[in-house]
Structure 1
Amino acid sequence: MHRRETIPTPGDTPIDTTPGRKDPKKAAMSGWIGSALEYYDFALYSLAATLLFPTIFFPTENPTVGIIASLATYAVGYVSRPLGAVVLGAYGDKQGRKKVLVFAMLLMGFATFAVGLLPTYGQVGLLAPLLLVILRLIQGFAVAGELGGASAMIVEHSPDGKRGFFASFSLQGTQVGSILATAVLIPLAALLPEEQFHSWGWRLPFLLSALVIVAGYVIRRRVQEPPAYVAQSGDATAKRRFPLVDLLRTHPWVLVRCIAMTFTNVIGMATLIFGVSYATQKGYGIGFSSSEFLWVTLAANVAAVVTIPLFGALSDRIGRRTLMVAGGLAGGLLTMGYLYAIQLGSLPLVFVCVVIVQGIFFQMWNGTFATFFQEQFPMRIRVTGFAVSQNIGLMIASFFPSLFTAIAPPGSSNIPMVIGLTTLGICAVAAVATMLSADTKGKTLEDLEAR
């Protein structure tokens, strides 16, 4: 019979330290559903930033300025992510994975709902982009705790031989969220006249985030803390340390390597952010419609939903480093072909290329990195280590689309080659960082904890 204990700490809510049992299926399902709902919000903004916001929230006299400004507000959401990572990572490590997941979900739902109520630039001038930036900062703060908390919860619930498989479902959930965002925008963009879509139709998907607030609270509050975390919560010495300080003192080079590995996200920035602007914005003169590229984005995400658990399971067999390096380098190289397909104006070829680049090769990295990052840090700083490294890396990577627009503005020549080679170079840096990191193949969490 286990005895219920609490460890009182000033300002902290006591944690139930009664050990439970591992439940990887329930943890994976909770991570999947929660990530899907939260990334619906985040992906919705990403799509709107490329397709709609340049003309709704910014001056329209100079198309290049509008594109860069809109992509910059997309990047602003990543600026606040390191702060969210520190605060929410500490909350997740000290107070519990469950609590940080509930809080992050509610905050994200509020911010996204509020975007749907914002006035436009034509109505209030510069106040419109200012309010947009503030809400994007809140979104970034909230999402910083999502994947770190969800994947830590799943990894700590999972059997050692299936950590990659079960943890991949939180990543699959992020893709499902992107699919939901795209699926909501597609019929609106296709059925509404362009004037109505830009005046009020775009608001409806954001207002649906009210459902996220309710669903997130119901789903996340029911999941149980991992038994190993509950057992460790009785360590009063660990609870007195602030996780970020502990992380910087004990694992600084692991942190640096994980930040560099996160740069592999440049593949998504080049294909689904810059690539969409390149294909649809009038300044580039390619001529694809917004609705066509909503379908392209949807195809990439559907392919990812299928491949992520496959690569997660494969990583349990052959190791995670192999998949991360191969997927990152191949995806970076083939980004050039994807952008060239856009330049040719061939929609069928664009679909084929985006599935190969984003749906297959990038998912070799994306479907395995969360488990690999979690395995690099001990339990006492696991959420903080993951969240800080991922979100600093993403903050830097988020400026790549604006950088791409700056080095290859409308009217430039050889845009596919310039952006493709830049993407490959960044992926090579990430691959080196991966190879320098400790291989976790065949290791138990206890083995990793003892390092």
Structure 2
Amino acid sequence: MSTDQTEIPAAQGRPRQAAIAAWVGSALEYYDFFIYGTAAALVFNKVFFPTSDPATGTLLAVATFGVGYAARPLGAFLLGHVGDRLGRKKVLVFTVLLMGVATFLVGCLPTYNQIGVLAPILLVVLRLLQGLSASGEQAGANSMTLEHAPPNRRAYYTSFTLSGTQAGQILGTAVFLPIAALPEEQLLSWGWRVPFWLSAFVVVAGYLIRRRLSETPVFQRQVATAGVARLPVVDLFRDHWRDVVRVVLAALIASVSTIFTVYALSYAVNTMDLARAPMLWVGVLANVVALAALPLWASLADRIGRKPVFIAGSVGCAVLMFAYLAAIAAGNYPLIFLVGILMFGIIYSAANGIWPALYGEMFTTQVRLSGTAIGTQIGFAIAGFSPAIAATIDGNGTNWLPVAILTAAFCLISILAVATGKETHRIPTENLGRTPTPANRPDPINT
């Protein structure tokens, strides 16, 4: 690769514009993605799987949530290729449009009682399209913000992508608060559709925001000097396959989010008969706290490194999931709120807030979007099915302990993957993902 890459400093990027575009776009995108999870936990078992017994209906409903994750590895290969050949901006515009259309159509679906088994089939198809969109969303936004950011603040600026994700989860949960309070008949007939119809705004807002964003100077420099790879995925698996595997395993930390968001909500409402509204409020408040925690953890990671922050957050989540599920089993609302906000709002944010920088910094500009997308989406696909796995091992809702152990096991795998990798927070942006030699080893960036 030409040494001309270092002639244009990364500071010439537009980090604030990129961070705002990533935040707003991710908020809109993941509003769509998460309202599906809430609906799967609360109503889809009755709307799309009414002929099953309650336990089986719940299992099938949360399984359709996982289907969205199953499409993500395929989407990662496709959109990663596009992003590394044609640019980050094109991926970001496409993903937000696809997510908005697919989500709006979910709200238009006829129910099982209206068209029979075709209803859940169409539901799965649209969920697959959601997953395809999400596969390129975070990797594209993360690559965009990382490559616009000053070298010593990459974790801080990339954390805005995850702040947007949390904001989307807040909106997706909050919009269900008045909906969940509707009488059962209205909820199941038209009420659940409203949050999906609101996604029409995503199509317009997402396009207007992202079409104005400029391509990153790092990618432009790559095109002007060394050029882009004809098949980025070939270069990726030839030169970075170990890092792809490491990202896959580290991304299993996302099981904390899916267990908290889908399984724990379903367990509380459908098994323990806890009220819907308080359990929805736990998610809202935890995500509000996360909005503040994410940039703080990221700023710390810019100072002391990615690895210690990520590992500390993962250890905390492994322990606190036991306390959270135990609090639900006991029906102790104050403890549910306390542990839920501590675990998901604060501790999980330590890992969640810095993985965009941690993963993206493992790869060169030439394969960054592909590497981040493929690695995370395979890991997220596994994590996405963790609520369905949990629903099969919890003894028909009578034993939460195996679920907590499952989550802790996923956390341990993430910890080992990150602990065996190298620290990257002091490496200049143009040298990320490259193997340094005595002749070209750069001086660390100033922090």
Structure-2 residue corresponding to 1:5: none
2:246 corresponds to which residue? Answer: 257
Q: CA–CA distance in 2 between the matches of 1:189 and 1:450?
A: 51
Distance (Å, rounded) in 1 between the aligned partners of 2:308 and 2:335? 28
Output one character per residue of 1:104-153: Cα deviation in whole Å (capped at 9) or x when no partner: 11000000000000001111110110000000000000111111010111
Tell me the distance in 1 between the aligned counterparts of 2:237 and 2:317: 32
Separation in 2, partners of 1:57, 1:314: 45
Q: Is the 8 A contact 1:337 1:416 kept in 2?
A: no
For 2:142, which of 151, 170, 175 is the aligned residue? 151
Q: Which of 32, 36, 40 lines up with 1:41 in the alignment?
A: 32
Q: Is the 8 A contact 1:46 1:74 kept in 2?
A: yes
The 1-side partners of 2:114 and 2:434 are apart by 59
User: How big is each residue's C-alpha offset from its partner over 1:391-437, in whole Å with a ceiling of 9 and x where there is no partner?
Assistant: 0001111111111111113353xx23222122112211110000111
Look up the equivalent residue of 2:427 and give its one-letter code: K
Q: Note if contact 1:333-1:423 (Cα within 8 Å) is conserved in structure 2.
A: no
2:349 to 363, 378, 401: 363
C-alpha displacement at 1:327, in angstroms?
0.6
Does the 8 A contact of 1:279 with 1:287 survive in 2? yes
1:184 and 1:424 mapped to 2: Cα distance? 31
More off after superposition, 111-120 vs 328-337: 328-337
Deviations 1:132-187 (A, max 9, x none): 00000000001111110101111111111111111101100000011111121111
1:382 to 350, 362, 368: 368
Q: Calculate percent identity across the aligned residue pairs.
A: 43
Say whether residues 1:431 and 2:404 are aligned partners: no
CA distance in structure 1 between the partners assigned to 2:110 and 2:276 by the alignment: 22
The whole-number CA distance in structure 1 between the counterparts of 2:106 and 2:197 is 8
Shift of 1:235: 4.8
Deviation at 1:20, TM superposition (A): 10
Equivalent residue letter for 2:212: R
Letter in 1 for 2:142: S
Q: Mark the runs of 5 or more structure 2 residues left unpaired by the alignment.
A: 1-9, 436-447
> In the TM superposition, what is the alpha-carbon distance from 1:389 to its structure 2 partner?
0.4
Following the alignment from structure 1 to structure 2, what is the Cα–Cα distance between the partners of residues 340 and 219?
Answer: 43
Partner Cα distance (1:224, 1:20) in 2: 14
SS of the residue corresponding to residue 394 of structure 1 reads helix
- The code of the aligned residue for 1:44 comes to I
Q: Is this contact kept in 2: 1:165–1:316, CA < 8 A?
A: yes
Residue 255 and residue 188 in structure 1: after superposition, are their counterparts in 2 closer, same or farther (change >3 A)? same
Aligned residue number for residue 96 of structure 1: 87
Displacement after TM superposition at 1:300 (Å): 1.5
Structure 1 partner of 2:441: none
Asked if the contact 1:20–1:227 (Cα under 8 Å) also holds between the matched residues in 2, the reply is: no
| Structure 2 residue 188 is the aligned partner of structure 1 residue 198 | yes
1:147 alignment partner AA: Q
2:327 is aligned to 341
Alpha-carbon distance in structure 1 between the residues aligned to 2:265 and 2:159: 27
Q: CA offset at residue 59 of structure 1?
A: 2.7
Which residue of structure 2 lines up, in the alignment, with residue 10 of structure 1?
Answer: none
The Cα shift of 1:448 comes to: 1.9
Question: 1 CA distance for matches of 2:63 and 2:260?
Answer: 17
1:210 aligns with 2:196: no
Q: Distance in 2 between matches of 1:52 and 1:114?
A: 17
- Name the CA shift for 1:165/1:386 in 2 (closer, same or farther; >3 Å): same
Residue type at the aligned position of 2:88 = R
CA contact (8 A) 2:394 2:401 kept: no
Superposed CA offset, 1:223-261 (max 9, x none): 00111211111356x534211111111111110011000
Q: What SS does the aligned partner of 1:239 have?
A: coil
Q: Of 332, 337, 346, which aligns to 2:318?
A: 332
Per-residue displacement from partner, 1:186-245 (whole Å, max 9, x unpaired)? 11222x222101110111110111111011110000000111211111356x53421111
Note the C-alpha offset of 1:450. Answer: 3.4
Cα distance per residue 1:333-374 (max 9 Å; x no partner): 110100000011011110101111111111100000011100
SS of the residue corresponding to residue 421 of structure 2 reads: coil
The structure-2 alpha-carbon separation of the partners of 1:123 and 1:317, relative to structure 1 and needing over 3 Å to count, comes to same
Structure 1 unaligned segments of length 5 or more: list them: 1-18
1:443, distance to aligned residue in structure 2 (A): 1.5
The structure 2 residue matched to 1:447, chosen from 420, 427, 431, is 431
Q: Give the equivalent residue in structure 1 for 2:337.
A: 351
Q: Tell me what 1:221 maps to.
A: 211
- 2:401 paired residue among 399, 413, 417: 417
In structure 2, how many angstroms separate the alpha carbons of the residues matched to 1:423 and 1:372?
21
Is the contact between residue 155 and residue 298 of structure 2 (CA under 8 Å) also seen in structure 1?
A: yes
User: Residues of 2 paired with 1:240 and 1:322: CA distance?
Assistant: 34
1:60 Cα shift?
Answer: 4.0
TM-score (norm: length of structure 2)? 0.93
State the AA in 2 paired with 1:249: R
The answer to whether the Cα contact below 8 Å between 1:270 and 1:335 also exists between their aligned partners in 2 is no
Shift of 1:62: 0.8
Give the equivalent residue in structure 1 for 2:259.
Answer: 270
Structure 1 Cα separation of the partners of residues 300 and 21 of structure 2: 22
3-state SS, counterpart of residue 422 of structure 2: coil
> What does 1:252-331 align with in structure 2 at a 5 Å threshold?
252-281=241-270, 284=271, 286-331=272-317
The answer to whether 1:31 aligns with 2:22 is yes
Pick from 69, 74, 93 the counterpart of residue 78 of structure 1: 69
Paired residues of 1:20 and 1:226 also in contact (CA < 8 A): no
Q: Specify the alignment match of 1:230 in structure 2.
A: 220
Q: Which aligned segments of 4 or more residues in structure 1 are displaced greater than 4 angstroms?
A: none
- Check the 8 A contact 2:11/2:149 in 1, yes or no: no
